[in-house]
Structures are given as structure tokens and as C-alpha cells.
Amino acid sequence: MKQISAIIEQLDTTLAGEWPDTAGIRQFSYSLQKQPDTGLLEWLSAQPCYPKFYWQQRDGNEEAAVCGDAYAFGDTAQAQAFIRQHADVPDLHIWGLNAFNGADNSAFAANALFLPRIELCRQGKRYWLRCTLFSSHSLREEARRTRLFLRSLVDSRALPPIASRVLQHQHLPAQPQWNQLITRALNCIEEQQFDKVVLARKTTLTLSQPLNACAFLAASRAVNHHCYHFMLAFTPQQAFLGSSPERLFLRSHDELYTEALAGTVANDPDDDKAQDLGDWLLNDGKNQRENLLVVDDICQRLQGGAQSLDIMPAEILRLRKVQHLRRSIHGELTESDDAGCLQRLQPTAAVAGLPRQAAREFIAEYEPFDREWYAGSAGYISAEQTEFTVALRSAAVKGHHLELYAGAGIVAGSDAAQEWQEIENKAAGLRTLLEEHYTPAVQAG
Ligand SMILES: C=C(O[C@@H]1C=C(C(=O)O)C=C[C@H]1O)C(=O)O
Ligand SMILES: [Mg+2]
């Protein structure tokens, strides 16, 4: 990490110069000459500054480790307005999470979006470090604060092994309550209150020792391929992370890429068996319905905001524990408006239901926990390009506890036991990373 220390020294010299005692924004960007000695997640893990955010795009080509907040935003509209106001600083990126309920739920933060002080980024084999200063009253003061911040940065080190063992688990709802919930949802579907509702479970694991969020995410990234990997660490003990296969949307200039990812079957390590399961999925009526309702929802939601929508044929996405039906969707935006895209697309019928409002009301009334960040979105906003993943296959790290989330789309024809198995398989993507380290107590006698 010599390169990084050298860049930081150079930055420090720049910041030590004369700065105006007025409002302003400045950004400094430095290319790294070669690949750093350790990964970005290792670097981020070592830093003692919060918030920190990590992101890896699902094709593996884009990665970012960012920390410290030069500015925090109350909502995406505010973040977007900030980027537009500072169009002369073309590389501003605002990173973070949007909660499932957005501004509708006053009990929980609507989002955690911030403009970082430091960003270490990779695109393909190209690496760079960016430092941003922003002050609404004094850049001089901000330069001084940023220098202190830079001094707190430390060298990267190897991630610790995952030593946390699972002592206990608790499902909310437990299976009998899940069965009741599904019956209730199926009744509403029969009464035509809605066509689909996505119901979820929170599993709280009690651990033998607090989990290192970066090490846990690295373990997930090593095995859960074709996924976005994201993490927001709020404090040393509190983080939200996940490895999600689902794109909420990618906006590149005026092009919009989204998808209907819904309909699930188990995966199998054996290629032939996995293929048979995938073929079954492609031809199963209930799963096709689940997926097509998401296509309908997305098309309705994009009306007036995007034109010439292209919907690709269904394909199978094979993951480590499950396989999904996916239809990719592409359109031209009538205006490049990220806050608008979020408003339209989050939450889609893949994680809420259809019609959206009726499904959300059912979730708010009957799901026995607050989703908080689960099924919201994680990603970034910038002038040129914006991308969010749906925050699925995710977990909240809270000291000695890990809360794992998983849900399933309920439509006519859903069976409670099969849907329970489906959420078990989805949760297994993260859960098995711990169980591999689990040594059951030896029974006496
Ligand atoms: C709700 C989740 O996943 C969603 C539900 C799916 C389904 O029911 O088939 C498939 C993919 C996701 O859109 C989750 O992983 O928690
Ligand atoms: Mg399903």
C-alpha cells in the first residue's frame, strides 16, 4: 500500500496550501500506477473511519471502497440536486443505501447516502483514489478537517478469519406463523385484493463473538458469484451487507437497464441436475406468473418516464444455492432523473407485490418485523451513471447478532412449505458461510 501512502502524502501537501475561507467544493483524483498489494475490501476493513461503504458490481469489473462523509443526504432527490448543482465537478459519486420503505416510515431512516471524503476505486485493472472536500461555509476549515482525516487512515492488512460460531437461531415468523401468513395472503389473492405479495423472514443468529463485516462479505464474495456485493458499516459493530443477484436499475446517460428477477428453484452442484431444475423452472406456471407480474409492474411504473421498452426472453440465472427466472428490460429515459427512477422502481413487484400499494399495506400490517434496509437498494448516484442493486440476500451485523433476511413471492398456486424451503435456500447463500465454521458441541456420554 506504499502507493496509497505516497498519494496521501501528496494530498496532504496540497491541502496544507492556502484555501479560501468561503463555501466550495474540490475534488482530487490520482491514478495508481499498479494494482495495490491487497484488495480494496482489506483496505476498507483496516480504516477506523465511519461510515464506510463497499460495492462490487455483479460482473466484477467495478469496485469501490469509500469512507468518511464529506456530506450526508436526507433523500435521493437531495443527492441528485447536489450533483446537478455541482456539475463542474463531473466525478461526484454519492454512495449508500435506501431503506425498503423510503420516506414512508418515520420510525426508520429513509436512507444513508453520503459523499465520501475518500474513495478507492477500480474499473477493470485501472485503480484510482479520489478525495473530495465540500463545505457550505469554509473550504479552509474543511481542508484542515480533511488533513486530520487523512492522518487517521492506516495501511491495509489481511482480513481476519471468520471465528464467530452460531450459538442459536430464531426465525421471525417461525414456520407455523409463516404458514398462517401464506394462507392469509392466498385468501387476499383469491379475493382479488392483489395478485402478488412478497413475504419475508428475519432470522436472528446469536454468535459466539462479533462478526467482522468485511471478512464476512469477502467470504461471501469468494463463493457467491454473479452477485453485487455491498456493505455499509455504520460503526465497528453495526453494518448492513449482502450479495444480491438483482439489479434495481442501471442508468447510463439516458439509457435505462432494469430487470424482472423472480421465480426460484434450488440449485444443485451437479450440472445436469441443475439443468433439469432450471428446465422445470422455465416451464412452471406459478413461477412464470411470479416473473411476469414483475414485468407488468415495471412496465406500468416506467410509463411516462421511459420509452421503447425492450423485454428480453426469460433466462435462467444459476447461483450457488438457488436459480432464478430473469427477464432483462431496457428503455430510453425521457429525462435522466435518478430520484424519479428510484421512486418509480423501488420496490418492484419482485420484493413488494402487485398492485404495489395493496401489497405494501399487507406487508406493513402482517409481516412481523420492520424490513429496514432489507429489500431496499444499495449503490451510487453520479452525473454520468447510476446503479442500484436490490438489497437482497442480505444481513444486518449487530454486535453478537446477525440478522439474515429472505423472502418469497406469493401468487395463486403458492404452497407454504415450498415457499419456506425457498427462503431457506435464499438465506443459505450467507448462512452457510458461518455454518462451515460451526463445530457442534460434543455430546457427553
Ligand atoms: C425476496 C427475495 O427475492 C426475490 C424473490 C424471488 C422469488 O420469490 O422467486 C426471486 C428473486 C427476488 O426478486 C429475497 O431474496 O429475499
Ligand atoms: Mg418465488
The pLDDT value given to residue 445: 36
| Model pLDDT for residues 33-77, shown as the tens digit of each residue | 999 989 999 999 999 999 999 999 999 999 999 999 999 998 899
Q: Which ligand is nearest to the CA of 408?
A: 1
**Span 335-346, average pLDDT:** 96
The pLDDT value given to residue 108: 78
58 lines ligand 1 (CB under 6 A): no
CATH homologous superfamily of 166-435 equals: Anthranilate synthase (3.60.120.10)
| Model pLDDT for residues 270-318, shown as the tens digit of each residue | 999 999 999 999 999 999 999 999 999 999 999 999 999 999 999 999 9
Q: What is the spatial distance between Cα 318 and Cα 275, in angstroms, rounded to a whole number?
A: 9
130 lines ligand 1 (CB under 6 A): no
409 lines ligand 1 (CB under 6 A): yes
**Ligand 1 atom with the shortest distance to the CA of 405:** 16
What the block records as the C-alpha cell of 85 is: 448543482
**Complex ipTM:** 0.99
**Ligand 1 atom with the shortest distance to the CA of 393:** 15
297 lines ligand 1 (CB under 6 A): no
| Model pLDDT for residues 349-400, shown as the tens digit of each residue | 999 999 999 999 999 999 999 999 999 999 999 999 999 999 999 999 999 9
Q: Which ligand is nearest to the CA of 391?
A: 1
| Å from CA of 195 to ligand 1 middle | 16
Residues near ligand 2 ion, CB 5 Å cutoff = 264, 408-409
261 lines ligand 1 (CB under 6 A): yes
**Ligand 1 atom with the shortest distance to the CA of 374:** 16
**DSSP code string of 355-419:** SHHHHHHHHHHHSSS--TTTTSEEEEEESSEEEEEE--SEEEEETTEEEEEEEEEE-TT--HHHH
Give the residue, out of 246, 292, 323, 372, with the most ligand 1 atoms within 8 A of its beta carbon, to mutate for a pocket test: 246
196 lines ligand 1 (CB under 6 A): no
Catalytic residues: 196, 246
Q: Which ligand is nearest to the CA of 325?
A: 1
Looking at the whole model, is its pTM more than 0.90?
Answer: yes
**Ligand 1 atom with the shortest distance to the CA of 348:** 13
3-state SS record for 124-191: CCEEEEEEEEEECCCHHHHHHHHHHHHHHCCCCCCCCCCCCCEEEEEEECCHHHHHHHHHHHHHHHHC
What are the extents of the domains in the chain? 2-152, 166-435
pLDDT, the chain, mean: 95
| Å from CA of 409 to ligand 1 middle | 6
| Å from CA of 409 to ligand 2 middle | 5
Q: Where are the beta strands (DSSP E) in 245-301?
A: 247-252, 255-266
